[in-house]
Structure 1
Amino acid sequence: MSALFGFLLLFVAHSFNFPIFFLFSSLLFMSICVSFICPCYPVQQSAEDLARVPANSTSNILNRLLLSYDPRIRPNFKGIPVDVAVNIFINSFGSIQETTMDYRVNIFLRQKWNDPRLKLPNDWRGSDTLTVDPTMFKCLWKPDLFFANEKNANFHDVTQENILLFIFRDGDVLVSMRLSITLSCPLDLTLFPMDTQRCKMQLESFGYTTDDLRFIWQSGDPVQLEKIALPQFDIKKEDIEYGNCTKYYKGTGYYTCVEVIFTLRRQVGFYMMGVYAPTLLIVVLSWLSFWINPDASAARVPLGNLPCLCSKSFQTSQSNCLQP
């Protein structure tokens, strides 16, 4: 509504040749645009004015931090690369799809790095950690992380954007976000159903080379996997492996990449009870006709046809869990 009002003022001033009115309406329209287009920047106050405001105001601290902050420039520009510690909490792990060779996970992706421009001032007497509204996330520099083997991904925004943002006293920034991702996983089904699959999740930088940005796994327990149950596979926390997958692209250079490898062992018992045992019973049933008198055709014919019907019905019912 405010923007529409500004357009009307400009139209009236131009139509009736009112220079002063045109100047006033132009200034009003520019102020409206700034308020909508530049929400990251604080209220127009000088550094001296902000410094005179008591440091016990969180709003004042955030305004100070953003006053001369440029999110287009990475921390330590033209200096050492930014080290980004990555940490993942897995909420759910979907079963592997053999037909499409992929799997789906729901995760909390956490990234932590240091930005010297966001150090809290010395006169700040509050907590060493600021819990910041997620809207400020768009105002900060952030790593350009993407999942190299991703097929599809969704960011969750119900009921609000699922982003957690912390700023620490020393300038450390912690960002956590909730994602649902479908990742490719090439499968080797030679030993099916006694096979073991190794599925990767690769986190890579899209635009920053290793001269500017480096991903590292957070020390300790970088991937948390708690009480995950799959219908056909066993996955254990002890089988998780971590690695470095930094890649070279001709013409652009080296790009940082880290990966986690999940080892999934197929549950043979699932197929023993669901496939092998019923198939064995059908075979045994087909032998019963040999024990009946050859002259009793009325009994032998149904017993001969019954295994065929059972086999076809069983094949149809098991088409989802058997590989093509």
Structure 2
Amino acid sequence: LRFYINIAVLLLLLLLLLLYAEVKEGEILPPTIQKLMKGYNKYLRPFFDNGPVTVGMSLDIASIDTISEINMDYTATIFLRQRWTDERLVFEGNKSLSLDGRLVELLWVPDTFIVDSKKSFLHDITVENRLIRIFPNGTVLYALRITTTVACNMDLTKYPMDKQTCTLQLESWGYNINDVMFYWARGNDSVSGLDTLKLAQFTVEDHYTSVSEAVYETGNYPKLIFHFELKRSILYFILETYVPSSLLVVLSWVSFWISQSSVPARVCIGVTTVLTMTTLMMGARTSLPNANCFIKAIDVYLGICFSFIFGALIEYAVAHFCTLQHPDYKNALMVRQDHHHHHSVHHRLCCFLR
């Protein structure tokens, strides 16, 4: 009996503490907010019995930190702003109410998520970076600062002269199109910040928005898609790969002007250029280790350069072998070279005597 009495006392104390906490929380809220929150159920969406609630979206791209061809994704920091009307939050006055972001837990908000996100987080220094603002007509503005890593399927067959189109897709998790409708607040102008971005290897050529629906077994869900086209800057690859490989081809052709009897010189040039070209090709392939399952444009170019360099080495090997197999041709070649040498010396001597 004593045990049950103690349990009852503990439960009573716990109930009193909960009631006290609710009273204190109500005392913290301003009178206008207390009035709005009275009878408010955050688990029911606006216009619950009167059609879907429309949510307007806008984005501000603060930065695109990395674009990874290896992982097929990009990492961006965005400001996501959502705006909708909640008839339960109408109040008298002509000024909006800017609330602490932590009070968003008291309101209904859309369950928006980023479809192809691999990982995302909400910034929380020094407090959670979210804003909630209520207007007299019941319009609610909800803003977040998010850093997200989003998948982007890239076609690298034209690398490094390629263009990639990536997307950022926003979708409702639990509310279908009968409950919530998404729309871009200002059409293509709903996304800003791209004009001021400075990327290492890319430039943003074009961007546009679209509205779609995601079809699943559980129903059709609203979806907004932001498309942006990235063009790779080729200057780095010209200086790093194309110019060195072209110069190596020219260097391998220098051996054609060296005497056939100068075996060490011609072999040294041929072997050195082949090894250097091999190193250059390996460096180009290791920069994209996961993309080596298909042929890229840079692979074709380096392969052609390697063929020219290797062909120059094989040409001398064949010519030298044929000379060894035909001594008469070798002697005739040596006589021709000696005659050319004596003729050159005689010509220079005559010029000197004049």
Interval containing the TM-score (normalised by the shorter chain): 0.7 to 0.9
Percent identity (aligned): 34
In structure 2, what is the equivalent of residue 42 of structure 1? 26
Letter in 2 for 1:131: S
Offset of 1:154 from its aligned partner? 1.7
Equivalent residues, number = 288
Among 252, 258, 278, which residue is 2:224 paired with? 258
Structure 1: runs of 5+ lacking an equivalent: 1-12, 44-56
Q: How does 1:41-190 map to 2 (within 5 A)?
A: 42-43=26-27, 59-120=30-91, 122=92, 124=93, 128-190=95-157
Among 238, 254, 262, which residue is 1:272 paired with? 238
When residues 68 and 273 of structure 1 are mapped into structure 2, their CA distance, relative to the original with a 3 A threshold, is same
In structure 2, what is the equivalent of residue 203 of structure 1? 170
Offset of 1:89 from its aligned partner? 0.5
When residues 18 and 230 of structure 1 are mapped into structure 2, their CA distance, relative to the original with a 3 A threshold, is closer
When residues 309 and 110 of structure 1 are mapped into structure 2, their CA distance, relative to the original with a 3 A threshold, is same
Contact (CA 8 Å) 2:61, 2:76: kept in 1 or not? yes
Cα deviation code 1:189-246 (max 9, x no counterpart) = 233332222111111111111111011001162101231122222204xx21111121
1:234 maps to 2:203: yes
Offset of 1:71 from its aligned partner? 0.4
Contact (CA 8 Å) 2:164, 2:229: kept in 1 or not? yes
In structure 1, what is the equivalent of residue 191 of structure 2? 223
Offset of 1:179 from its aligned partner? 0.9
Letter in 2 for 1:42: G
Please report the TM-score for the alignment, with normalisation by the length of structure 2.
Answer: 0.74
In structure 1, what is the equivalent of residue 315 of structure 2? none
Alignment RMSD (CA, Å): 2.7
The 3-state SS of whatever aligns with 1:216 is: strand
Structure number having the greater helix percentage:
2
Structure 2: runs of 5+ lacking an equivalent: 293-354
Please report the TM-score for the alignment, with normalisation by the length of structure 1.
Answer: 0.80
When residues 194 and 156 of structure 1 are mapped into structure 2, their CA distance, relative to the original with a 3 A threshold, is same
The 3-state SS of whatever aligns with 1:254 is: strand
1:245 maps to 2:212: yes
Cα deviation code 1:23-65 (max 9, x no counterpart) = 5x543321324566x699624xxxxxxxxxxxxx971111111
Separation in 2, partners of 1:302, 1:40: 87
When residues 16 and 96 of structure 1 are mapped into structure 2, their CA distance, relative to the original with a 3 A threshold, is closer
Offset of 1:306 from its aligned partner? 2.0
Contact (CA 8 Å) 1:193, 1:266: kept in 2 or not? yes
In structure 2, what is the equivalent of residue 31 of structure 1? 16
Offset of 1:308 from its aligned partner? 2.7
Separation in 2, partners of 1:312, 1:135: 59
